[in-house]
Amino acid sequence: MVRKSKGFKILISVFMVFCMMWLNGFISKAQSVNETEPNNSMETAQLIQANYETPTQVVSGNRTNQYVVKGNTSKTDEDWYKVYLNAGVQYITCNDNPFEYEIYSSDLNLVSSGSYTKTRLFPIGYPFNASSNGYYYVKIKGITSTSSSYIMLIGGPTYSVASCSVSLGSINMSGRDVTVPVSCFNEYSS
């Protein structure tokens, strides 16, 4: 059995607290809207705001331009949303339980469709091209017969960290109170 030193346990504890604070900041600063019924057709689509967070907001944790939609759906429940998007590459970003999505232009042409299946901890963004400025419709449909929750953003890009590695050489500690500053962010934006 390998015995871990007290210093190593403190370092791991500090790192875990940092990660929990970062994840909490990631979620708590976003503006979210809950699905409101009836939104079962294009005609009753719920109006939502596009996600347009910037790299600076992501780095600083101030995600005031992040708009998150939270809802519940099943195979027999379609949820429709109406959102104004600018022309160009946009993203539908998916998280939580698996679901299918379809995106339509205002003239009812299918722009993009796909299935989201959770394969990792972080959200997955799927790019699509908005051919012009205007309103677009998003249809969300569950893939199970029972109701399950989903999280969806549509608009600007999603920023995620592919990996984070902290490498420390040897650490010499003495005394009882130890402070270990840890920062995984560069405070700049592009």
Q: Which domains does the chain have, with CATH numbers?
A: 22-155 (2.60.120.380)
What is the average pLDDT across 18-34? 58
In this predicted structure, the answer to whether residue 182 has a pLDDT above a threshold of 80 is no
Kindly tell me if the per-residue pLDDT of 138 is higher than 70.
Answer: yes
pLDDT band, residue 189 (cuts 50/70/90): very low
- Strands laid side by side in the 88-96 sheet: 31-34, 67-73, 148-155, 88-96, 124-130
> H or E element: which one contains 8?
helix 6-28
pTM of the model: 0.66
Do 140 and 79 touch, CB atoms closer than 8 A? yes
Q: What is the pLDDT of residue 170?
A: 65
Task: Please check the confidence at residue 87 and state whether its pLDDT lies above 90.
Answer: yes
Number of residues in the chain: 190
pLDDT digits over 100-115, tens only? 999 999 999 999 999 9
CA pair distance 178, 8, nearest whole angstrom: 11
pLDDT of 63 reads 72
